[in-house]
Every structure is written in structure tokens, then in C-alpha cells.
Amino acid sequence: MGKPVHIEIYPRRGESVEKTIRRFVRKTKKEKLIEQLRDRRYYEKPSVKKNKIKQRKRRNTEKRTNYV
């Protein structure tokens, strides 16, 4: 398991609620909290994890080579 993440956002003086929520969403994306929750929702065998990582790397290299 990864390190525990505690995200605290306090509204600044004169800041609207929408802006505070945007800051919270930005912080959760930066910490990759949502991705972790999605990944840990179901158990995944280590071999399956490894294959997904390989596929992701292969896809990224193909995108990079096709782009140039």
C-alpha cells in the first residue's frame, strides 16, 4: 500500500466555493488519489498489473513514433 494521503483545503478569505472546489480537485489530481482508488477497487493479480503496464508503455511509444 502507498502512503496515506490527507488532503485539506481551507477556503481563503473572499474565495468563492466554486474556486475552493476547483483547488481541491486539482490537488486530488496532482496526488493521483482518484487513480489509486480506481486501481484498488478490485484485486488485480501481479501478472495482470505487469501486462497492463507493458501495454501502456507500448501504446505510448507507438503514439510518440507516429507523432514524429
CB within 8 A of 24, min separation 6: which ones?
7, 9
Q: Average pLDDT of 2-28?
A: 88
**Number of domains the chain is built from:** 1
Residue 59 lies in a domain: no
Any domain includes 2 = yes
For the segment 24-59, what is each residue's pLDDT rounded down to a tens digit? 999 989 888 888 888 889 999 999 999 999 999 999
pLDDT of residue 10: 93
Alpha carbons 3 and 16: distance in angstroms, whole number: 31
* Predicted TM-score (pTM) of this structure: 0.55
Cα-based distances in Å from 59 to 1, 13, 49, 56: 27, 45, 15, 5
Tell me 42's DSSP state.
S
Where in the sequence is the domain holding 22, given as residue range(s)? 1-31
Residue 7 resides in a domain: yes
Side chain identity at residue 65, one-letter code: T
